[in-house]
Chain A
Amino acid sequence: MSSAPNAGVVLGIDLGTTFSAMAVVDRYGRPVMVMNSEGQPTTPSVIHFYDRDACVVGDEATKMVVVDPTNVVRFIKRNMGEPDFTLEFFGRSYTPQELSAITLKKLKEDAEEALGHPVTDAVITVPAYFNSARRAATAEAGAIAGLNVLSIINEPTAAAIAYGLDRIGGSRRILVFDLGGGTFDVTLMEMRGVSFRTLASDGNAELGGKDWDDRLLNFVAEQFVERFGLDPRDDPQPFQELYERCLHAKISLSTKPKAVIPVNYKGHRMVANVSREEFEGLTADLVEQCAVTSQLVLEKAGMGWNDVDEVLLVGGSTRMPMIRTMLDGLAGRRVQSANINPDECVALGAALAGVLRHRPEHPAMANQRQALARRARDGGRENSPGSPGAPAAEAPQAEPAGFIGLPPVKVTDVTSHPLGMIVLDRNMNERIYPLIPEATAVPCEKAGRFAYAYDGMTAVRVEVTEGHGQSRDEVKVIGDVVLEDMPPRPRGTPIEVIYRYGLNQILEIDILDPDRKDHVRRARIDLRGGMSQPHLDAARKRMAAFQVS
């Protein structure tokens, strides 16, 4: 344990499509939000470039959206992991990882300012339905920003941790319904004792609150077009204004039955009235998608709505009444929704997860061990740990009443997509062989035994696939490992391929010759379209010189 106080604090970062947040765990084991330089717990994930090396992140950038839309970046999380996507500002091109890194850098600097000491270690959350390319891109973003990414955690898992830590004991099943700004996840988790286990997970990495905004915006714009023949979406400034107004209208429709959206374009004015019913009608199919996905998750886990004890609503978009109505309708009863802050719980849970996994020496954890040991020692004399008759004087430190520290919670994530490889079957046709099936607890290691396909092969190629499918076109080939210069072997010689899926959910592959029993090849998956190491280093250097305010 390090001597410096607060050294090695793990920053839990919720890097969202529309908003980002961060939290740390205090010495008592309570997670607290870290305020940014504007004093807000959440920061909009918006970047505005105003010079070659300088940009603004957050509310200030959001204000500039109307004025200078070409140099503003929003919703970049949607393009994370896409290989060819680059944006150009002031003559420089940026990949999505670099742009997310800018947001992370801002958060890091604000945290350092708020906490008063440097921050390096972090845990970043991703939607549960992110595939490995996107996860790797998120990890890269953290690396570029100068953070040491300890692990990548699923957002629903983090939310469940934040929620469930106060309710350790017994067994309960919670359905985490996470509808964020740009992504959607549904995860069924089981809390049994001190272990959190993910039973099933599904989602849509491209469905989010943004789509609700789009529907409202299209609705109003089309009314304008019908009336005046002009489309406010064609001009960037009027479009952004309209977008902001639609955002406000959407938010107010959650509490008020009607909203008013004024539109002003090329001298024509119009006021659109939208009622909640109309809005629900416009977005009915989106809600339907959410319902279908929720049902699917329950089916994957082999459970029904009666097995669900609680529903966690995560993400600001779940404030819309239509979501609650939909869930009530699906469950057939009034769904118990936990009383958590949908915007903050993911960051809080991320911080907790970081400590639980990576900081066993945290004072709060130590306190817990002491408390458990004390209980064991005085096991016969006390009925229950928290009983009023507990000798409070024995506690050396002043603690908040009822506090028992951070329990050693075991958090298990599962894979969201099956991982396999392309093999040739008996008839020399291509087939997908799934090595790690879906919903396998992570970290995991699975091996498969294969054979040489031809006589005299001197090279072996492993193409790693992710996703469901039978043929090459249905799955995504995320990596390619080639082993060359092997002695020619006859057809049928056995060869072993081991997939290792780590905590940070990045794949490692070992190719073994079982007869010779030595490592023939070990490779870290080479993600198609990810940044190469030199590129990464250069980006990191560049980011260090970047001025982010």
Chain B
Amino acid sequence: MDSRDFDEIERFLTTVGKATLFEYLGLGEDVADEAVDAALQKRRSWAQGQQSNPKYRTEAIWLIKNMGLVKRVLVQERGGYLGELQQREQGRKLQILKQYILGTLAEGRLSRRDKAGVMQQARALGLAEPLAQQALDELAAQTGAQAEGEPSEVFVDHYLTLGLRPDADYNSLYSSYRQRLEQLRHTLDRQLAEEQRDALELAWRVLSDPAAREAFDQQRRLVVGGAAPIRPAGLPEPAAAGPIARATEPAPRAPSAPAPAEAPSAPVELRPKLALVERPAEPEARPPLPPPTSEREALRPNPSLGRFSIEPAGTLALQLGKKPQVVELKVRRVGTEAAPCKLFVERAWVSVEPRTLSGPPGEHTVQITVDPSKMERESAVAIITVLSELTGQRATLTLDVKRPAPAPVAAILMVAMALLAVIGGAAWWLSRPPPPAAPQSGVLIVEVDPAAGEISVNGDILSTNGRLRLDQGLRGQALKIGVQLDGFAPVQEAVQVQAGETLTLRPVLELTDKMDFIPPRDEAPALIDEAKARAALDATAPAAAACLAQHGPGEPGATITATATLLSTHEGWIRSMKLREPGLGRAALQTCLRRVVRATRLPFVNGYAQTTYTWTAQKAPGR
């Protein structure tokens, strides 16, 4: 339809504050033509009566003069009108998105998170992804913003992500990583939390792996110009001395001792971590870095000798199948005198061919073969470094590789496996990473009363449900066990578990909370997911029943019912319990039930929550 007509209608609609003609007339968009006529007729009669009314006169006169136009648009050109409306709407949304993108690109950088944010905004606005991507590319090209991953421009400092100094040890790395992950649970914006978790995971993966960390340090030094991480001289490696192995940080240029290869990865689970375990297996031989001709030369690239660029650069995420995958790396060497380049990678499952690029300047293709079958774990990071010895220029390509877990066996194979169950089972058992060949370790069992709380060993939180079992790597080291539960007094214990022995700890936590939470006066209780609350409280039933059985009133065998009104804070901790039935006021019972209830957490809500629950038990014989 004619855009002038559309503009005229838009002008009018703005003055009356409606978005479309349909809205103005109170019609649906698929209304019949007769209905349109009737509505217009009614509107016209109204308008004719409004000519002297200052409030509606302009509207009325516009209507009278443009009745033909409106009728035509709504009846004959309805498709065109709706299409135009949609286009304008999309144009408006695209404008908003572009403003958002410009704001995001204001710093001149486009990180992955920014991109995700832009996509999320596009989704919220209801724009299609290709459209958003196109707008993003356009504006990024216009403003010259650099996407993440050009090592010479954008640098993500993983130390900053974890809030550490570059000389932080493995322990602090891990603690800070865990702490920050934990803090994320309290973030209300789940999208942001996801992005931050990604950043944390990447930081952890790079920094926990000594080789990766070293490469990262070198890159960081070039960018940030900080000092090399301090390494106390003479520290023996690998760390066999302390319970926690230290990440080794060999000096960047000295020929280094064999460095430990695999670091424990996938640190998300709370299983007893191999962090307590010595580094297994033999270290991989790492080719030494070539010494520079002189120290100053290594730091300052010699431009006359030419430069190179690699493509792709930055981080490449790979999802592998069972077969090895080849990644092609293009290295372009330019300059009057092309300096030769060397490629390094410190992974057994990555091979690079060729390793040296020399000859006249030009483009070389390097084949990087990643072999998933040689990978120890499902996800790992490999850093391929391209180094020009004479100029000192260095570029890296980080491969973030994921390999699927061993696929579940097909049904037929399962049958076959079942037939060979014993042999198969043994073979499968044996193919697991072997436990250390050292003498069998001790076992530590911790059971907290009440069955909740964070159990930490030497500062690492290893369990959050009050139950812990450690059975690897305990050979008489000193362990500091800590138990923490909200509302209870914390407990600390130092133990030593010798090899082969089992130690069970059963700390009983003391309730320190008076359970006298009073909700704010002007706030109504928030709605909670009743099913989840019920599930959480069902878990308390055995313990509560035990309490009732032991401390409840009445004759042995009598049924005791306790109905409690429970109030929880917004974090979910139940901090107030009022029993309805009389006769349940005995201090021991109260304390017992309170301990059970205080250790329970209802689902998170935006405010305090209230729920009721009933426990039943039979009075136990005896006291």
Query: Which residues from chain A sit less than 8 Å from chain B, CB to CB?
Result: 69-72, 74-75, 79, 82, 84-89, 210, 214, 217-218, 221, 231, 233-234, 236, 239, 243
**Is the CB–CB distance between B49 and A236 below 8 Å?**
yes
Which 8 residue pairs of A and B lie closest in terms of their CB atoms, listed nearest first?
A214-B54, A69-B49, A70-B49, A233-B55, A84-B65, A236-B49, A70-B45, A85-B65
- Residues from chain B with Cβ under 8 Å of A71 in the complex: 48
B52: Cβ under 8 A from any A Cβ: yes
Partner among A75, A84, A231, A234 whose Cβ is within 8 Å of the Cβ of B66: A84
Partner among A70, A82, A221 whose Cβ is within 8 Å of the Cβ of B55: A221
On whether A233 and B49 interact (CB within 8 A), knowing A84-B66, A87-B64, the answer reads: no
Question: Residue of B at shortest CB range from A72?
Answer: B49
A366 to B49, CA, bound (A): 51
B51: Cβ under 8 A from any A Cβ: yes
Partner among A70, A82, A233 whose Cβ is within 8 Å of the Cβ of B53: A233
**Is the CB–CB distance between B45 and A75 below 8 Å?**
no
On whether A74 and B44 interact (CB within 8 A), knowing A84-B65, A84-B68, A87-B64, the answer reads: no
A92 to chain B, nearest CB (A): 13
B56: Cβ under 8 A from any A Cβ: yes
A234 to B56, CA, bound (A): 9
A239 to B50, CA, bound (A): 9
**Is the CB–CB distance between A74 and B52 below 8 Å?**
yes
- Residues from chain A with Cβ under 8 Å of B55 in the complex: 218, 221, 231, 233-234
**Is the CB–CB distance between B52 and A75 below 8 Å?**
yes
A107 to chain B, nearest CB (A): 22
Query: Which residues from chain B sit less than 8 Å from chain A, CB to CB?
Result: 44-46, 48-56, 61, 64-66, 68
A243 to B50, CA, bound (A): 12
A75 to B51, CA, bound (A): 8
Partner among A86, A214, A217, A221 whose Cβ is within 8 Å of the Cβ of B64: A86
- Residues from chain A with Cβ under 8 Å of B52 in the complex: 74-75, 210, 243
B225 to chain A, nearest CB (A): 62
Report which residue of B51, B52, B61, B68 has the largest number of chain A beta carbons within 10 angstroms of its beta carbon. Answer: B52
**Is the CB–CB distance between A233 and B56 below 8 Å?**
yes
A233 to chain B, nearest CB (A): 4
Question: Residue of B at shortest CB range from A236?
Answer: B49
B43 to chain A, nearest CB (A): 12
A286 to chain B, nearest CB (A): 13
Number of A-B contacts (CB under 8 A): 44
A85 to B57, CA, bound (A): 14
Report which residue of B49, B50, B68 has the largest number of chain A beta carbons within 10 angstroms of its beta carbon. Answer: B49
B37 to chain A, nearest CB (A): 13
- Residues from chain A with Cβ under 8 Å of B68 in the complex: 84
On whether A82 and B49 interact (CB within 8 A), knowing A218-B55, A221-B55, A231-B55, the answer reads: no
A221 to B56, CA, bound (A): 13
B73 to chain A, nearest CB (A): 15
On whether A239 and B45 interact (CB within 8 A), knowing A84-B65, A87-B64, the answer reads: no
Question: Residue of B at shortest CB range from A84?
Answer: B65
A338 to B59, CA, bound (A): 41
A86 to B48, CA, bound (A): 10
A254 to B53, CA, bound (A): 23
B63 to chain A, nearest CB (A): 11
A87 to B449, CA, bound (A): 87
A140 to B45, CA, bound (A): 26
- Residues from chain A with Cβ under 8 Å of B46 in the complex: 70
A472 to chain B, nearest CB (A): 15
Question: Residue of B at shortest CB range from A69?
Answer: B49
**Is the CB–CB distance between A82 and B65 below 8 Å?**
yes
Q: List 7 A-B contacts (CB under 8 A).
A: A70-B45, A82-B65, A85-B65, A87-B48, A88-B44, A214-B54, A233-B53
- Residues from chain A with Cβ under 8 Å of B64 in the complex: 85-87
A236 to B50, CA, bound (A): 8
Partner among B48, B61, B66 whose Cβ is within 8 Å of the Cβ of A70: B48
Question: Residue of B at shortest CB range from A216?
Answer: B54
Extra contacts besides A70-B49, A84-B65, A85-B61 (16): CB < 8 Å: A69-B49, A70-B45, A71-B48, A74-B52, A84-B66, A84-B68, A87-B48, A87-B64, A89-B48, A218-B54, A218-B55, A233-B53, A233-B54, A236-B49, A236-B50, A236-B53
A74 to B45, CA, bound (A): 15
B49 to chain A, nearest CB (A): 4
Question: Residue of A at shortest CB range from B66?
Answer: A84
- Residues from chain B with Cβ under 8 Å of A210 in the complex: 52
A217 to B52, CA, bound (A): 11
- Residues from chain A with Cβ under 8 Å of B56 in the complex: 233
**Is the CB–CB distance between A239 and B66 below 8 Å?**
no
- Residues from chain A with Cβ under 8 Å of B51 in the complex: 74-75
B332 to chain A, nearest CB (A): 53
A231 to B50, CA, bound (A): 14
Question: Residue of B at shortest CB range from A68?
Answer: B49
- Residues from chain B with Cβ under 8 Å of A88 in the complex: 44-45, 48
A210 to B57, CA, bound (A): 12
Report which residue of A70, A75, A210, A217 has the largest number of chain B beta carbons within 10 angstroms of its beta carbon. Answer: A70
- Residues from chain B with Cβ under 8 Å of A84 in the complex: 65-66, 68
B416 to chain A, nearest CB (A): 81
A18 to chain B, nearest CB (A): 10
A239 to B55, CA, bound (A): 10
- Residues from chain B with Cβ under 8 Å of A86 in the complex: 64
- Residues from chain A with Cβ under 8 Å of B45 in the complex: 70, 88
**Is the CB–CB distance between A217 and B48 below 8 Å?**
no
A517 to B5, CA, bound (A): 45
A214 to B53, CA, bound (A): 8
- Residues from chain B with Cβ under 8 Å of A233 in the complex: 53-56
- Residues from chain B with Cβ under 8 Å of A236 in the complex: 49-50, 53
A233 to B50, CA, bound (A): 9
